[in-house]
Amino acid sequence: MPNVLLISLDTVRADVAYSGKMPGIESLRRRGTTFRQAVSSAPLTPISHASVFTGLQPARHGIRHLLREQLAPDAVTLAEHLKRAGYATGAVVSCPGLNKWYGMDRGFDFYDDEIPLLPDGSDPLTTPDVKMRGLALKRAPLVVDRAMDWLSRQQSPFFLFAHFFDAHWPYEPPEDFCPTAANPYEGEVAYSDHYVSRMLTRIEELGHALDDTLIVCFSDHGEDLAGWYPNDHSGDLGHPYEEGHGCLLFDTTQHVPLIVSGPGLPRGAEIDSQVRLVDIAPTVLELLGLEQKDADGASLTEFLRPEPAGASRPAYSETYYPEERRADGQYPDLLPLSAVRWDEGEGVRRKVIWHIGGDTVESYDLRADPTEHHGETLSTGTPPVAPPH
């Protein structure tokens, strides 16, 4: 069975990932298939990764808030499937949102979730502010070193999950790997990208051919930079409570990169049909000849053929983080949100956002309004056209 490498570029927007400025990402794109319209289930690290690991939407894997829930006992993770199939399973993660407390370590023989305390000495796992949590991270060079140290002691087949958190706030890239970076955020993405390339080189130096490795590279969510990009909404743009990500479901955070490569799969292909991060686990398992029962996602193998024939898939997203944000008393009117993004054909793409517990529904025509600044606000008594089921 092929080795499996899962790379998470936390907090990386699709437009920045696909900007052509990131050599590591571009090398992966040449090696595999780029999904240009991938959608995340949630704009928060633990929730989105739980969907990636299980193939389940948040209501079924059990994590719906940043700090309240752990992975449901009956949710089977990708690592558990692969361990049963004979894989050595290892992970190096770099932020509080993937701490063992959430249950993300299930199925891993090795799970390195060590991170520093916050500058004031407090535990980042108990800090609800997503920006402050970003100060507690394992930098990309250490992620690579620890991942390669584990891998150097393994035989094939292996499953390695490498998680890079550098693109998260505070956007202070320690080195300049991208002279054309438009801002410090892009500098942080480039910093992670450089070390992804280093990791791939070191994997080959350990004797594991990348052409014989199933590689999935994705981001769990994007980032709203309060005006650095045309489709931002946070800060003075109308949503002061949105500090990077967590409270909103615009494409700024929900449209994410996804690249899949592996033995026998197309190289340099691009797919414009809409897919979901919740499709990752079913895809990996089907490509390995393993079975996953009762998943919310569906395998992407129909797109991974010489002549792909897959259709766009409706994508569900949600965030209950506004309930936690509301608890500090600054924003008492914040409501959780759910959204569905879907294609109607002939280039027409739409999104509907529901304010859970309120009477507001937002409807967006993403072809006419790609930045989602001119949507139609409706009452719940006048619902928009329902997406396909």
What is the mean pLDDT of the segment spanning 153-158?
91
What is the mean pLDDT of the segment spanning 97-120?
93
> pLDDT confidence of 386, banded at 50, 70, 90?
very low
Q: Does the structure show a pLDDT above 80 at 293?
A: yes
Domains and CATH numbers, the chain: 3-313 (3.40.720.10), 317-379 (no CATH)
Q: What share of the chain in percent tops pLDDT 70?
A: 97
For residue 38, what are its two tokens? 């991938």
Sign of CA dihedral 145, 28, 169, 276: negative
> pLDDT confidence of 383, banded at 50, 70, 90?
very low
What is the mean pLDDT of the segment spanning 267-279?
97
What is the mean pLDDT of the segment spanning 24-41?
98
What is the mean pLDDT of the segment spanning 359-386?
82
What is the mean pLDDT of the segment spanning 35-51?
98
What is the mean pLDDT of the segment spanning 11-19?
98
Q: Of the given ranges (22-36, 39-53, 344-358), which has the lowest mean pLDDT?
A: 344-358
- Between 135 and 169, whose confidence is greater? 169
Query: Residues 6 or more apart from 3 whose CB is under 8 A from it?
Result: 156, 157, 158, 159, 160, 208, 212, 213, 214
Query: Residues 6 or more apart from 71 whose CB is under 8 A from it?
Result: 50, 54, 61, 62, 63, 77, 102, 103, 104, 106
The per-residue pLDDT for range 176-222, each reduced to its tens digit, is: 999 999 999 999 999 999 999 999 999 999 999 999 999 999 999 99
> What is the model's pLDDT at position 14?
98
Q: What mean pLDDT, rounded, does the chain reach?
A: 93
Q: Does the structure show a pLDDT above 50 at 389?
A: no
